[in-house]
Structure 1
Amino acid sequence: MELIGKYLAAWNETDPAARRALLADVWADDAPYTDPLADVRGRDALDGLIAAVQAQFPGLVFTLAGEVDAHHHLARFTWHLGPKDGAPVAIGFDVAEFTDTEITRVSGFLDHVPT
């Protein structure tokens, strides 16, 4: 699913201007993102969260771990965070709500996080 691919690309984009452009393309202006460690609303806040995660885990990338399962403007997907060609250090599961053109909410769950 293209929206989820672009969303994950934003999490991996380290150039701030390019990341903001990806978010402008895929994320609704006031959409919330919530997981056990974060609760933010809007593109600017999500951009700041992504930058903080990248600072905490430099050089690691988010990848899809399987197919995106979607129906009725809902999608669920599992992701891995880890070295490009290595074992993940974190694993999560997200549920995204979307329209035909943008993501309107993501609720995240963390299955495995580094200690």
Structure 2
Amino acid sequence: MTDVRGLVEQYLAVWNETDDAKRRALVADVFTEDAGFTDPFGAATGHDGIDQFVAGAQQQFGGLTLSLPAEPDAHHHLARFQWYLGEPGAEPVAIGFDVVEIADGRIAKVHGFLDKMPG
């Protein structure tokens, strides 16, 4: 099986990368060409769609970063993990839980859930 923790860390790096060109390169490394992303705020497909979705989220939550508070849980071609959004060392302003489908060492689908959101 893929190094799940490494893949999840790369996934979070996509969300934390604010340089457009670097983020786009990470998206291409982490996601399959036809990858899908769905969470309560919307859905995106493919590298362009995912990159644009992430860029929009960064505008909304500028200056905050995602972190991995615990080890991912994985079996077969699936992994699940919790993430925190906030400033390093501070109480997270948002907490989420994602389930990813993995194909050929990259993420093919993301199913995102939110446990805590600001406001």
The residue aligned with 2:105 is 101
2:88 is the alignment partner of 1:81: no
TM value normalised by structure 2: 0.93
Aligned equivalents of 2:27, 2:89: Cα separation in 1:
26
Offset of residue 85 of structure 1: 2.2
Secondary structure at 2:88 match in 1: coil
Secondary structure at 1:28 match in 2: strand
Cα RMSD of the aligned pairs, angstroms, is 0.8
Aligned equivalents of 1:76, 1:84: Cα separation in 2:
22
2:15 is the alignment partner of 1:11: yes
Secondary structure at 1:87 match in 2: coil
Aligned equivalents of 2:83, 2:115: Cα separation in 1:
10
Aligned equivalents of 1:46, 1:86: Cα separation in 2:
28
Question: Deviation above 4 Å: which 4+ runs of structure 1?
Answer: none
Gaps of 5+ in 1: none
Choose from 46, 51, 54 the match for 1:47: 51
Gaps of 5+ in 2: none
Aligned equivalents of 1:3, 1:53: Cα separation in 2:
21
Deviation readout 1:24-67 (Å, 9 max, x if unpaired): 11101111100111111111111111111111111100001211
The residue aligned with 2:76 is 72
Offset of residue 3 of structure 1: 1.0
Amino acid at match of 2:97: F
Aligned equivalents of 1:44, 1:9: Cα separation in 2:
17
Aligned equivalents of 1:47, 1:99: Cα separation in 2:
19
Q: In the comparison of the two structures, how many residue pairs are matched? A: 115
2:28 is the alignment partner of 1:24: yes
Instruction: Give me the identity figure in percent.
Output: 54
